[in-house]
């Protein structure tokens, strides 16, 4: 019978290998160049989002890549399941994990996190007179902090996607989400009313791993830093 469980050798390889966590979706689509410049060539299936595989080898026997949801990159790195990762600054701001160190702005997947609302209600009244507002978002912490600085209590409806339809379905007055070209807002009858933060992707590392494996992780930070200056 074929062994189902990994051998002791495989288990020890899995523990000593460094793991780089990458997010599915827009960031993954734009990070192939920076990976290439840093000398990382993952197996091609990484970029095939219909592949069910989650872990991929690279041209470096000591480095594997895992492909996870963008919010989960930060969680895997914070808990040490992955030692390094590439993660949007939106996710870092939302979670604010003390275990994560973000040494490099990779200047990719640039967008903004903004407030938007239906064209029909935008500008109808003055938000500075509001005491509370209902807002749909997948960023409850960023959202609450943003409105609190304006003296407004945000009643957050926490969605994981498709928040653009929340106002038209009567769930909320506004939404807070990532905006790049603005096409998604436009297609759903919304208009951007305020930019909260400009967003880009960062290289992130687990602070404990950086202390216990300083040479390996320091080497990868240096490679990514160099990649940023490579034309």
106 binds ligand AMP (CB under 6 A): no
Q: What share of the chain is helix, strand, coil (3-state, %, to 5)?
A: 35, 30, 35
Within 49-78, the residues that bind ligand AMP by CB under 6 A are none
179 binds ligand AMP (CB under 6 A): yes
111 binds ligand AMP (CB under 6 A): yes
> CB under 8 Å to 75, separation ≥6 — which residues?
95
27 binds ligand AMP (CB under 6 A): yes
CB 107 within 8 A of CB 31: no
181 binds ligand AMP (CB under 6 A): yes
CA distance 4 to 130: 60
26 binds ligand AMP (CB under 6 A): yes
Query: Residue 30 burial (CB < 10 Å; 0-12/13-18/19+)?
Result: middle
Residues that contact ligand AMP, how many (by CB under 6 A): 14
**Measured from the CB atom, is 26 or 223 closer to ligand AMP?**
26
CA distance 131 to 162: 26
Min dist. Cβ of residue 71 to ligand AMP (A): 10
Pick the stretch among 59-67, 71-79, 148-156, 177-185 that binds ligand AMP (CB under 6 A): 177-185
167 binds ligand AMP (CB under 6 A): no
**Measured from the CB atom, is 13 or 192 closer to ligand AMP?**
192
CA distance 155 to 153: 6
* CA distance between the termini of the chain: 52
Residues of this chain that bind ligand AMP (CB under 6 A)? 25-27, 88, 109, 111, 177-184
């Amino acid at each position: 019978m074929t062994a189902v469980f990994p051998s002791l050798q495989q288990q020890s390889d899995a523990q000593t290998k460094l793991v780089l966590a990458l997010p599915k979706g827009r960031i993954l689509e734009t990070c192939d160049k920076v990976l290439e410049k840093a000398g990382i060539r993952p197996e091609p299936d990484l970029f095939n989002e219909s592949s069910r595989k989650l872990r991929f080898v690279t041209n470096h026997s000591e480095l594997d890549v895992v492909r996870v949801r963008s919010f989960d990159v930060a969680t895997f790195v914070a808990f040490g399941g992955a030692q390094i990762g590439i993660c949007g600054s939106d996710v870092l701001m939302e979670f604010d994990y003390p275990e994560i160190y973000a040494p490099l702005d990779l200047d990719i997947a640039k967008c903004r996190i903004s407030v938007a609302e239906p064209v029909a209600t935008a500008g109808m009244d003055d938000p500075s007179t509001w005491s509370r507002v209902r807002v749909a978002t997948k960023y409850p912490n960023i959202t609450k902090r943003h409105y609190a600085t304006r003296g407004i209590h945000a009643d957050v409806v926490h969605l994981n996607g498709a928040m653009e339809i929340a106002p038209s379905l009567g769930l909320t007055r506004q939404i807070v989400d990532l905006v790049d070209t603005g096409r998604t807002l436009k297609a759903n009858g919304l208009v951007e009313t305020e930019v909260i933060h400009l967003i880009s992707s960062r290289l992130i590392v687990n602070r404990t791993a950086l202390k216990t494996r300083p040479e390996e992780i320091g080497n990868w930070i240096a490679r990514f830093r160099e990649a940023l200056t490579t034309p």
